[in-house]
């Protein structure tokens, strides 16, 4: 979150530095009610209000996702699109309670409950962020954790029966809620950055990609597969003193099986040689 507690539109480098240092030294968790985090959130809302009409969905104590802010901001439209006298009379595009219910049902579909959430509004279109799709172990495990430790609800309409038929119904229901949320924000394209089709831990599929969903549930979306090293590379980056210069990702590792795949309708920059996508430069 980028926000500074200075009057009007004055910003200073030192306050931005302080914010970044706080983010580097502290792991954010919504339920911890960090006073500094609350101040940052307040200023974020103030700054959003200068340019946008927005709705706020409460995530106090992290009941929706402990990794998301205590107030989930959903931008609606740019204030410049209406005059000053009428902007306060324009009805909100979203019903906050309906949004919260949809977030609550869809969060089981994504790893660590990081459901799809709008973060940028560009020319009336939402750019959202989310985690990868949860596997069965993640869905059942997170549901159990929510039920016993946080007072959250278990799998919406779910069953504890784990036979093959029940698991298919579970995946169909949970991923259906995820798709419903994507449609709520008119998402048409999914950008997949996973370097593997399915992430496997201890011989178990823990997360997956929309592009390999067995039932092809995400077929109505354009899926852009752009494999990009993420957490797989962080340990080496940290050991290198957070200096990326000279580092190269080994694309020949056995688990790296995702290919670059761009939708046909995309207009590709002519200056980019996509055949060299995986060629590292020291």
Q: Is pLDDT at 84 greater than 90 in this prediction? A: no
Task: Return the bridge partners of 53, or none.
Answer: 77
7-18 pLDDT, tens digit per residue, is: 455 667 887 788
Looking at per-residue pLDDT, the higher value among 148 and 133 belongs to 133
Question: Which of 145, 149, 59 minimizes the C-alpha distance to 104?
Answer: 59
Q: What pLDDT shows up at residue 275?
A: 79
**63 close to 103: Cβ distance less than 8 angstroms:** no
**189 close to 221: Cβ distance less than 8 angstroms:** yes
Q: Is pLDDT at 168 greater than 90 in this prediction? A: no
- 167 phi and psi, to 5 degrees? -65, -40
Distance in angstroms (rounded) separating the CA atoms of residues 113 and 145: 11
**267 close to 224: Cβ distance less than 8 angstroms:** no
Q: What pLDDT shows up at residue 252?
A: 87
218-249 pLDDT, tens digit per residue, is: 999 999 998 988 776 778 888 888 887 888 88
Q: Is pLDDT at 144 greater than 70 in this prediction? A: no
- Average pLDDT of the residues of the chain: 79
Burial of residue 67 (number of CB atoms within 10 Å: 0-12, 13-18, 19+):
middle
Distance in angstroms (rounded) separating the CA atoms of residues 80 and 273: 40
250-262 pLDDT, tens digit per residue, is: 888 888 888 888 8
Q: What pLDDT shows up at residue 47?
A: 86
| pLDDT band of 19, cuts 50, 70, 90 | confident
Q: Which residues of 143-178 are buried (b: 16+ CB within 10 A; e: fewer)?
A: beebeeeeebebbeebeeeeeeeeeeebbebbbebb
Distance between start and end Cα atoms, the chain: 32
pTM for the complete prediction? 0.79
- Which DSSP state fits 132? P
Q: Lowest-confidence range among 95-109, 111-125, 198-212, 234-248?
A: 198-212
- pLDDT above 70 coverage of the chain, percent: 76
- State the DSSP H helix or E strand holding residue 155, giving kind and residue range, or none if neither: none
Task: Calculate the CA 28 to chain-centre distance.
Answer: 15
Q: What is the mean pLDDT of residues 93-106?
A: 94
> Three-class SS string for 179-247?
HHHHHHCCCCEEEECCCCCEEEECCEEEEECHHHCCCCCCCCCEEEECCCCCHHHHHHHHHCCCCCCCC
């Amino acid at each position: 979150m980028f926000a500074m507690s200075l009057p009007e539109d004055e910003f200073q480098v030192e306050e931005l530095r302080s914010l970044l240092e706080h983010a580097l030294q502290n792991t954010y968790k919504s339920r911890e009610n960090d006073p500094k985090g609350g101040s940052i959130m307040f200023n974020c809302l103030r700054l959003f209000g200068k340019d946008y009409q927005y709705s706020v969905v409460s995530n106090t104590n992290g009941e929706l996702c402990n990794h998301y802010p205590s107030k989930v901001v959903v931008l609606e439209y740019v204030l410049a699109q209406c005059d000053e006298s009428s902007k306060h009379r324009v009805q909100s595009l979203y019903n906050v309670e309906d949004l919260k219910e949809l977030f609550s049902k869809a969060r089981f579909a994504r790893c660590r409950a990081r459901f799809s959430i709008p973060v940028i509004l560009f020319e009336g279109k939402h750019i959202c962020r989310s985690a990868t799709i949860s596997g069965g172990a993640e869905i059942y495990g997170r549901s159990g954790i929510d039920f016993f430790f946080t007072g959250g609800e278990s799998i919406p309409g779910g069953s504890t029966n784990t036979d093959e038929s029940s698991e298919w119904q579970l995946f169909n229901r949970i991923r259906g809620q995820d798709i419903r949320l994507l449609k709520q924000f008119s998402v048409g394209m999914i950008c997949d950055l996973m370097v593997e089709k399915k992430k496997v831990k201890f011989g178990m599929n823990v997360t997956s990609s929309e592009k390999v969903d067995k039932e092809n549930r995400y077929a109505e979306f354009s899926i852009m597969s752009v494999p990009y090293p993420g957490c797989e590379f962080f340990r080496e980056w940290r050991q290198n003193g957070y200096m990326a210069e000279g580092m190269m990702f080994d694309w020949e590792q056995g688990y790296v099986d995702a290919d670059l795949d761009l939708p046909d309708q995309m207009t590709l920059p002519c200056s980019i040689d996509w055949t060299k996508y995986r060629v590292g430069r020291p």
